[in-house]
Amino acid sequence: MPTVYLETFGCQMNELDSQLVSSRLRTLGYTFTPQADSADVVLYNTCSVREHAEQKVWSRLGELALRKARQPGLVVGVLGCMAEREGEGLIRRMPVVDVMAGPAELDRLPELLDNALKTRRALLAESATQHLLMTPEGIRPDLTLLRSAGQVALHGDTGRRSSTLAAAADQLELLDLSRSTSPDEHSGSAYVRITRGCNKFCTYCVVPFTRGAEVHRPPEHIIDECKRLADAGVIEITLLGQTVNHYRFEHDAATIVDGVVQPQKGRAYVHRRGVHEDPYKREKGERVTTFADLLYRIHEEVPSVRRLRFVTSYPRSFGDDVLQVIRDCPRICRYLHVPAQSGSDRMLRAMNRGYSVGEYLEFIDRARQHLHQPEIGRPLTIAGDIIVGFPGETEEDFLATADLLRRVRYKNCFIFKYSPRPGTVAHERLTDDVPDPVKRRRNYELLTLQAQISDEVSREYIGSELDVFVQSLSKRQSRRQRQTGALAATEHRSLIRLTVSAAGTHARPGDQSPHDDQGCCATHEKIEHTGPSEPEDHTLPVQMSARSDGDLIVFIDAPPGTPPDALIGSIVRVRVESASGLALHARPV
Ligand code: SF4
């Protein structure tokens, strides 16, 4: 069977999509390689939210065009939001691409790949026997036929689904239901999707167009998936949704196809401005699973999951019921990623965010009242997103955003410089009128301010004890081992994951972005936290990278005699000894 190289750009949602796709392909006999050069099939799972990610893919495709001239049997695929947004234009610009599948069509990828591979093999055989060229070196097959034929372009479904039945026909659910729980794919931590798509239409964002309308998965499917992952050794689960707290499944409206309960389209709610209300709560007599219900059920029904977290929260419509469940369930992490995007009401209106700065701060204060309990070792940490240089942003708007950062004191914040994304309302209707040098200056000033705040927040932990989930060798440790040629089995295991999941963009909530373009909910690219650089000393203990309950990055040294592999995927009690920037340095107790 062909070998596949799969590289993912962008976000946790894309990373999960890549895991599901690779699971499916493995069960069909495909094998995966971390080396693009030796693969028969090269797939890029892409993100359109930020221009930076798309540019990387264009560059990779340019390189593949040269390679395909030498290796005409190579099959190249572009998956995800970029395939959806660019459509046929992508193939016209890059004829090297054989297969495209948007986020809503990934269930069809095996069929498309099979078709593309067979087509290319047939054309190759035909060229070898029937299309021969005389060259100075002798007779050889004419492969030009292969360079322009055999493409299987599946245009993304850009039409938003308009009915519950259309959502019910969503075959993507099968992809989630059939996921593999192999330890090679999770290392003790896994993502579980609870909703797809988004109904918000923020003016800068492509997600509602590329991923479609908000669709909620049946709670039984989600809980069953969590149980299967837990049985396979997963102890940390992150629930994913673009607006994760909007989750709501109405059992009386559920549809069943071939005996399987189908995902359900999200409902549009009217919001009364200035009044806190929870439109997502259960009304009397309704058979509904709300987000609070879902969190509680997973916590109670899957007790071997020791950490349950979720991203990304939408600041409006976040009910007290969710906060109460988090407070009462000790294994739900006290961490909220709640993008504000701006500290100016004028900008929030232009972005169509649907809340004011006052409403955002009301939510932050309410969350802290419910959840901040440092006296029992459980402080609440909050991460955010900010866009600078949105059309029309004045110096006054910018200063209001800086005030918001000071007021909220995020443990970290993704700060992005606005760039218009084709297909969005802002691109079509608003003039990108903030000069680039001004955007850069504002971006830099906010990053500097947030770095100070992050440093202060991190230092508050010095001397405290935390439970941390050990994820991997630290980047510094990996670099040391690569330099000495001692690539441990530990890292080999990580490499397998990277190949099928992120290839260096292993996005996590809580990473502070140095990049330029704006983000959207649940889409962030990883920062490499390497710790302070120092001369290599191979007598140093093995340094591991871990995360606290509040998603703080914690570096610890493996105790002497403990193989690093034995620590990965476990939760360890540590005492924080020092802090710098976004990272804590701790020692196991
Ligand atoms: S920024 Fe988030 S809430 Fe707004 S449209 Fe994009 S995904 Fe939806």
Residue nearest to atom 3 of ligand 1 (CA): 200
pLDDT digits (tens, 9 = 90+) for 370-421: 998 777 777 899 999 999 999 999 999 999 999 999 999 999 999 999 999 8
pLDDT at residue number 142: 52
Distance 480 CA to ligand 1 centre (A): 40
Rounded Cα distance, 580 and 531, in Å: 9
Task: Report how far ligand 1's centroid is from the alpha carbon of 213 (Å).
Answer: 11
Counting residues of the chain whose pLDDT is more than 90, the rounded percentage is 47
Question: Each residue of 74-101: pLDDT tens digit?
Answer: 999 999 888 888 877 888 888 889 888 8
Residue appearing with tokens 């995007």: 341
Q: Between residues 137 and 143, which one has the greater pLDDT?
A: 137
Q: Identify the pLDDT of residue 168.
A: 41
Between residues 293 and 540, the one the model is more confident about: 293
Q: Is the pLDDT of residue 305 over 80?
A: yes
Where does the pLDDT of residue 238 fall: very low under 50, low under 70, confident under 90, or very high at 90 and above?
very high
Q: Work out the pLDDT band at 121, boundaries 50, 70, 90.
A: confident
Residues 6+ apart with CB under 8 A from 272: none
Give percent of the chain above pLDDT 70.
80
- CA distance linking residue 57 with residue 147, whole number of Å: 20
Q: Before 135, cis peptide (omega within 30)?
A: no
Length of the chain: 589
Cβ(432)–Cβ(420) under 8 Å?
Answer: yes
User: What is the CA(430)–ligand 1 centre distance, in A?
Assistant: 18
Which of 14-28, 346-360, 513-527 is modeled with the greatest confidence?
Answer: 346-360
Amino acid at 583: A
* 471 and 189 Cβ atoms separated by less than 8 Å: yes
pLDDT tens digits, 496-506:
333 333 333 33
| More confident position, 49 or 148 | 49
Q: What is the rounded average pLDDT for all residues in the chain? A: 82
For residue 566, pLDDT beyond 70: yes
Reply yes or no on whether the pLDDT at 426 is more than 90.
yes
Pocket, ligand 1, Cβ cutoff 6 A: 198, 200-202, 205, 207-208, 242-243, 314, 520-521
- Cα of 448 vs centre of ligand 1, distance in Å, is 26
pLDDT digits (tens, 9 = 90+) for 527-561: 444 444 455 555 678 899 999 999 999 999 998 88
Beta strands 195-196; 215-216: pairing state:
antiparallel
Q: Is pLDDT of 258 > 60?
A: yes
pLDDT at 562: 84
Does 461 have pLDDT greater than 70? yes
Strand partners of residue 334 = none
